[in-house]
Structure 1
């Protein structure tokens, strides 16, 4: 940045308090002893400071924001006031700040945001209030900020978030509540339909239910790292089919439904490190493999730090799938196999697929899995393998029909035992 000319007021010690940069009309008041926003007349320069586009007053002694003084900055588009002593945003503070597009009040002591404190911010697009002490926000707070696109409330004291506060935010694209104390989240409101990024990292969530992520059709990135999630419902992601990234690292997951991610045809990044998963399912990773550009670039394992058990049909299927990746001609999957490989207890390896006859059918089906980008299809829910088909015969008499898997198993059994070695 070129500093063309600067004239500033001086404190008694003779050190400058504010500096005006003329090339972009930025007023710098960082590390001063101001207790509120300075009036433009308190800082003199060749051009009036009231014409400033940006005002920086970080790491100072600001205790409150004076709406009358902010009024004098009629062209102000950005207000950056982090690391101060502000405890409360009062009604009317921004009623004349119609051109403000960005406000950063991070690392203050804010406990309360009065209902009409954001009135007048019709042009606001980004609001950052990280590292404060906010416990809750009332519904009318965002009535006048319909253009808001990014809201960051990381490291506050939220234990719950009422979805009605988002009612007037139809353009919101990024919402971040990292490192709060949120125990439950639900997004069933029509006002989050434009949201593309939701970050709930470092909270106290214990489960993800079917309706927790409803009405967010544009959501692309979901960050749930460092929570206490134990369960994820089978249909949890049915209403968020544009997801490209899901981060579930460092939770308490013991299992995941086999087909929980199958609707997510755009999924590129799935992180499951540091959970308590013991049964691997290759179906989790089918769509990330189909959208393999990220997986090629990633250098880390996607399955590390889980207590995998290398027995049972799911493990044998998983082993067969890794072999299928090695032999697949389309995409050089050797690196992907390393990222998907699982570490078994006591350095044991996955048992051979031939050692469990009951898994043979599912293992044979692995070789027919479509790994092409067009392979993702939204199918009806899979039927239980234990279900028995029924049909109506002769005017309503029902006769049992052998399940197709039972038929396959029986046929393979006969072939296995009666053909000569």
Structure 2
């Protein structure tokens, strides 16, 4: 998700060498990765309860889910550049602080409108926090330690994704202090506070070498291009695909192409582009970015649709729905234990093999859903979930390491 902030090996050597990392440095920065990914998925099982409690419209519910991802995508590249300029630890901590405040706001939101605004604030905070994780790994670790850190990054994202629904279901079922679905957001508050206390002591500061500058035009163009594709896909169906949705979709590739040309021009002049075009001359990086975009777009939809099917279609509770995802987590965890060995054996082909395994799992789930309908036993989903979890591990765990090799 944050591959855009990666540096070439040559660029990394030009950066100020931070102090030797503490053993707890990686766990602390991966807290950021975990909560960012968790909040994409934990909300899925909370949708029926929060919609009923806040009397939210279908459009508002869509924005509760998509507003977070939209804001994150729009600010991701800018967040990475700000970390390069002003310090990655500093931006990480600012992002954690804002994310914690936004989570408290979401947990206390009295209306659907405020919840949507809080989710957008969460996404913007994540855009400041998230890019710093891979950047800090890149300049803090070297050699085998860096490869292990990248694998841990992928594993953390996977764990947050596959267990997000289960954690959400458990929190809603526990109904702590009568807060119900609100605990899905409030759970981030103590985690964020702990990260803020520990980060100054455990994360070394680093920033890009040289006198880099912010590219405000590039920030505006890339943010507009990303919003132009995500917003109509979020709102189009609910609003009957009005003209503005098609205009946005048509404008998006033009804006993103213009952004690419701007970055190439800045690089040719020796200026500081938001994304260095040199990175895309490396086939592994380009394939990694494309794979990440396709994979995470598809998986986000899969988790949401399955959670809604289990609750609104089959009629399961939030807890029961979350427990259905447990086989997915088991398949992911078991396969993750051998993911590094498979990556060493298969090289970059591990991603293709993982994708095929994932497709096999999805095919099994499709067949199971057709058999179950709305009244059958969800036990039929277990084999497909186990296989899909294995495929996820084969893709997610080595993806960052393969792309940034």
Per the normalisation by structure 2, the TM-score is 0.17
Between the two structures, name the one with larger relative contact order (CA 8 Å, sep ≥ 6): 2
Bigger-Rg structure (1/2): 1
Per the normalisation by structure 1, the TM-score is 0.17
Higher strand share: 1
